[in-house]
């Protein structure tokens, strides 16, 4: 997967999807240097 900037709206959609799916959002965010709002 290539590193790229993700727009805020798109990122929040991904976060919502990952949280509902129970995937490790924090781990992914840290790996890709993306800030996660809690």
Q: How far apart are CA 4 and CA 8, in angstroms?
A: 13
The number of distinct structural domains making up the chain is: 1
Which residue segment(s) compose the domain that 23 sits in? 1-38
- Report pLDDT for 10: 83
Q: Does residue 11 register a pLDDT over 70?
A: yes
1, 11 Cβ separation under 8 angstroms:
no
Among 29, 27, 38, 37, residue whose Cα is nearest residue 6: 29
Residues 36, 9: Cα–Cα separation, whole Å: 13
Mean pLDDT of 19-23: 70
Average pLDDT, integer, range 1-21 = 72
Q: What gap in Å lies between CA 16 and CA 21, rounded to an integer?
A: 9
| pTM for this prediction | 0.31
Tokens of 13: 């959609």
């Amino acid at each position: 997967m290539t590193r790229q900037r993700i727009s805020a709206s798109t990122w929040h959609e991904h976060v919502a999807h990952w949280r509902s799916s129970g995937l490790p959002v924090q781990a992914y965010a840290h790996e890709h240097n993306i800030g996660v709002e809690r």
